Amino acid sequence: MAQAQEATLTEGEALRFRVEGMDCPSCAGKIETVLGRVPGLSEIKVNYSASTLTLKADAPTLQVPTINAKLSGLGFPSALVGASGASEPAQAPGATAAGGLDHDHDHSDGHAHSRDKMNTNGPTRWWQSKKGRIVLAEVALLAIAYVGSLILPERAEWVFGIAAAIGLVPFAVQAFKLAIAGVPFSIETLMSVAAIGAIAIGESTEAAVVVLLFSIGELLESVAATKARAGIQSLASLMPKTALLLKNGSQTEISAGKLVPGDIILVRPGDHVAADGQITEGSSELNEAAVTGESIPVAKTVGADVFAGTVNASSALTVRVTKMASDNTIARIIHMVEEAQGSKAPMARFIDDFSRIYTPAAMVICALVIVVPPLAFGADWQTWIYRGLSLLLIACPCALVLSTPAAIASGLAVGARRGLLIKGGAALEALGKIKTIAFDKTGTLTAGHPVVTDIISISETQVRVLAIAAAVERGSSHPIGKAILDRAAKDGVAIPASSGGSAIAGKGAVAVVDSDEAVVGSPRYASEIRVLAVSDMSKAAVLEEAGKTVVIVTHKNVAIGMIAVRDEPRVDAKAAIASLKALGIEAVMLTGDNSRTGKAIADSLGLGVRAELMPQAKLDEIGRLKKQAPVAMVGDGINDAPALAAASVGIAMGGGTGVALETADAALLKDRVSGVVEMVRLSRLTLANVRQNVTISLGLKAVFLVTSLAGVTPLWMAILADTGATVIVTINALRLLRARV
């Protein structure tokens, strides 16, 4: 790390920094503004939720210490942690010590400080942080000033003035640094001007209280920002630190970060799986709630994929590692959510743009409030200076700027914990405005593989029909054959011996069972060999009308029964479609399957259908729906990629697979249709939270604007109103972390 910090950057190199002390979007805005003025830097992206900075160096002579020095000068110590695309599963985003605060400012050696803090073993409590120490110092100063005013009442204003001036020093210094760096209209500037003005007009007691309340507000922002990151930190904490490596017949405990693809590890009952991999020995149930949001343990055996961070519930497993630690499922989820929280929703971008105009405009208005009444109407200067300073404190845009990103960050964290990956504020905002949702059929509304739905007896019992069919299909890789074998295994049917198995191209399969030929074939083939009666053909036709595929089982040249299979709807699909309708959202199925099968599935679920659609036709249908209203597309993330990309929001079903994580705007890790409903509800809850936050921040400003101009609001109440609005907005956003969707 130390060597990397001193290195000269390679031209075009993408870098990622961990930045301490960012508590709100205003902090991120300051960093973006200042670094934007540094020659040789481009693509600067600051994510206050994840405490990260990514950028590109376009000047080959630029060095990392230059960037660290700039950030440290602003009060944001930083450390280079890797390329912008790297994942850091071992480091909880936004926290250098579990559950604690780390927001110390104004260290001359920014990168060294950050390295020290990142190696901290214990949590940093609020009173141990720089902001906490400032608050305690302010309380002590105010207490000393109060005692001094009692001893020397005639010097009370001087005593409180000295206390206010001492307490103001760190904020005034910060305001000066920001101003010369190109950020003149910061909250520190507004507060410093107001406090200095109050001291100048003899209101030093209020100035001291204002400084204390501002310090408390800054500390509360730090506490709230730390809590807001808890959702993603909890994911990082799931990653085991060690793994049991099996090599040359012995077990060795090694760091999980050292595992490489091909390694074989032992996962004991109760252990967290140390890496993404594939089971090579053993069968067990795994709790995948941390990754997919699925609360019921999933049974897995040899050949099944397992995900890092999941918990082995019952029996020991031997697992072959398939991915590096930096690329496992948990690490990728963390990285994706960090990136998503760093992206701005349209509403957030609007408020950011508005605040850039709002802050300097507010300062001009405050100046006019101070000078116009005395100059134009002969009003008292001290009265209107006081009112103007109160207005200046109320005008701080912190609560307004924080209103949207705080809610968006909480919403994204909630989704990640529940297996709902939403890739950014724009997607989260768009989901709440969706009017139509189009679903692919196979693998989305249905499980993606056929199962036996009906066994019809003709001349033998159902058990015998299934046994003969399974004997013919033994070893088959055909979906229908596998469905028959799965049903036989599920029912515990004894399968008789068979020999000479072979396929009849396009018609079925044949084998010798109990010394006689047995055939599993299509109804058409059964008619060709004249083994199926007209009445039985009618039964087969009824099953086919229901969207099922029918095979006739023949033994000794006699039709003994028929078996119907169908790719059945997911167990929660019907309820999910009904829930979407209750939310006022129209659902439609887009499928390439035949009209008969598509209609049968759609009718059973209660939604419309467009069948026999090639990929281009699906794309055209999405375009048509999109012209009418915002539309979401839900698919398996592979063959539906064009439609997913064209929709207002593309949602991939994937059960934690790499495709689901990389495709579309959102992914349902729990692989349930109900996840779509949860996404919509989460989005609507988040948008409602944003509207509440904007109303709170603007509403309080409007109220105190009137009271300030009327001379009702003292300075301390003005800063309390601003700090209070910021805290209320943050707490309201944190409510989303407990939201039920």
What's the distance, Cα to Cα, between the start and end of the chain in Å?
42
Residue 494 · residue 488 · CB < 8 Å:
no
Q: How many helices (H) and strands (E) does the chain have?
A: 26, 26
Least confident of 162-176, 214-228, 714-728: 214-228
Confidence of residue 633 (pLDDT cuts 50, 70, 90): very high
Tens-digit pLDDT profile for residues 228-237: 555 556 666 6
Q: What does the pLDDT read at residue 89?
A: 37
The answer, yes or no, to whether residue 689 has pLDDT greater than 90, is yes
Q: Tell me what the pLDDT averaged over the chain comes to.
A: 82
Q: Is the pLDDT of residue 1 over 60?
A: no
Residue 287: strand pairing partners = 311
pLDDT tops 70 at residue 221 = no
**pLDDT score at 349:** 63
675-682 mean pLDDT: 95
Most confident of 75-79, 354-358, 687-691: 687-691
Check whether 572 has a pLDDT greater than 80: yes
Is residue 424 within 8 Å of 347, Cβ to Cβ?
no
**Residues with Cβ within 8 Å of residue 615, at least 6 apart in sequence:** 592, 639, 640, 642, 643
Q: Which residue has the tokens 């948008």?
A: 687
Residue 270: Cβ within 10 Å count: 9
What is the per-residue pLDDT across 497-525, written as a single tens digit (0 to 9) for each? 999 888 887 788 999 999 999 999 989 88
Residue corresponding to tokens 């099944």: 304
The per-residue pLDDT for 244 is 94
pLDDT given for residue 42 in this prediction? 79
pLDDT band, very low/low/confident/very high, at 532 (cuts 50, 70, 90): confident
Written as six digits, the tokens of 205 are 């007691």
What six digits make up the tokens of 18? 């961990």
**Residue 84 phi, psi dihedral angles, 5° rounding:** -65, -25
Q: CA–CA separation, 262 vs 323, rounded Å?
A: 9
Q: What pLDDT does residue 660 have?
A: 55
As given in the structure block, the two tokens for residue 730 are 């943050």
CB of 607 closer than 8 Å to CB of 589 = yes
| Token output for 565 | 């299979």
Q: DSSP H helical segments within 8-129, as ranges?
A: 25-36, 64-73, 110-118
Q: pLDDT, tens digit, for every residue of 37-84?
A: 888 787 888 877 677 888 887 766 667 888 888 888 887 888 887 544
Least confident of 290-304, 383-397, 421-435: 290-304
Instruction: Give the separation between CA 78 and CA 72, rounded to whole angstroms.
Output: 7
The C-alpha atoms of residue 685 and residue 411 are separated, in whole angstroms, by 8
Place of tokens 């693998």: 443
Residues belonging to the chain: 741
- Tell me how far apart the alpha carbons of residues 549 and 291 are, in angstroms, rounded to a whole number: 35
Sign of the CA dihedral running 48, 54, 57, 62? positive
Distances (CA, A) of 75 to 171, 237, 418, 626: 11, 28, 36, 47
Residue type, 369: V
Of the candidates 253, 203, 120, 181, the residue with the CA atom closest to the CA atom of residue 387: 203
Beta-bridge partners for 544:
none
Supply φ then ψ for residue 315, to 5 degrees: -120, 155
> Could you tell me the CA-to-CA distances from 724 to 108, 206, 714, 721 in Å, in that order?
32, 17, 15, 5
Mean pLDDT of 275-283: 93
In the predicted structure, residue 398 carries a pLDDT above the cut 90:
no
Taking the model in full, what pTM does it have? Answer: 0.70
Selection from 25-39, 87-101, 615-629, 655-669 with the highest mean pLDDT: 615-629
Structure tokens at 276: 């993404």
Judge contact between 679 and 651, C-beta under 8 A: yes
Q: Give the three-class secondary structure for 446.
A: strand
Q: What is the DSSP string of 78-128?
A: EEEEE-TT---TTS-TT-SSTT--------SSHHHHHHHHHT--S---GGG
Catalytic positions: 440
Pairing status of strand 608-610 against strand 586-590? parallel
Radius of gyration of the chain (CA): 33
pLDDT at position 337 is: 67
Q: Which residue's structure tokens are 């100059």?
A: 375
Looking at residue 497, the DSSP 8-state letter turns out to be: P
Give me the pLDDT at residue 227, please.
63
* Helix H or strand E encompassing 537: helix 534-545
- pLDDT 10s digits, 84-134: 433 343 343 333 333 333 333 333 333 333 333 333 344 567 777 788 888
Q: Give the 3-state secondary structure percentages of the chain, helix then strand then coil, rounded to 5.
A: 50, 20, 30
Distances (CA, A) of 117 to 6, 110, 412: 19, 11, 27
167: CB partners within 8 A, 6+ apart:
137, 138, 141, 142, 208, 211, 212, 215
Tokens representing 33? 């503004």
pLDDT-derived band at 9 (thresholds 50, 70, 90) equals low
Higher pLDDT, 123 or 410: 410
List Cα–Cα distances, 305 to 135, 264, 286, 302, 319, in angstroms: 52, 14, 11, 9, 9
- pLDDT grade for 658, boundaries at 50, 70 and 90: low
Find the largest Cα–Cα distance for the chain: 118
Strand pairing class (586-590; 436-440): parallel
Angle (nearest 5°) at CA 527 between 525 and 530? 115
Q: Taking Cα atoms as reference points, which of 581, 580, 509, 516 lies closest to residue 551?
A: 509
Four-point Cα dihedral 714, 717, 718, 720, nearest 10: 160
Residues 488 and 374: their CA atoms lie apart, in Å, by 94
Q: How confident is the model at residue 8 (pLDDT cuts 50, 70, 90)?
A: low
CA atoms of 732 and 527, how far apart (whole Å)? 69
Residue holding tokens 């659902």? 587
Q: What's the confidence (pLDDT) of residue 496?
A: 94
pLDDT at 558: 93
At 451 the three-state DSSP class reads strand
Band (371; pLDDT cuts 50, 70, 90)? very high
Indicate the range of 2-6, 329-333, 715-719 predicted with least confidence: 2-6
| The pLDDT of residue 216 is above 70 | yes
Strand (E) or helix (H) holding 473: helix 462-473
Backbone angles phi, psi at 565, to 5 degrees: -130, 150
Quickly count: other Cβ atoms within 10 Å of residue 322's Cβ: 16
pLDDT of residue 517: 94
Rounded to 5 degrees, what angle do the CA atoms 389, 393, 397 make? 140
Which two structure tokens, joined as six digits, stand for 495?
Answer: 């399968």
C-beta of residue 520 within 8 angstroms of C-beta of residue 469: yes
- Between residues 662 and 2, which one has the greater pLDDT? 662
The mean pLDDT value for 597-601 works out to 89
pLDDT of residue 295: 58
pLDDT band, very low/low/confident/very high, at 553 (cuts 50, 70, 90): very high
List, in sequence order, every residue forming a beta bridge with 266; answer none if it has no partner: 244, 318
Residue 512 token pair? 């010798």
Q: What is the mean pLDDT of residues 347-357?
A: 66
Copy the structure tokens of residue 197. Answer: 């003005």
Which amino acid, one-letter code, is at 442? T
Q: Report residue 162: phi and psi, to 5°.
A: -65, -45
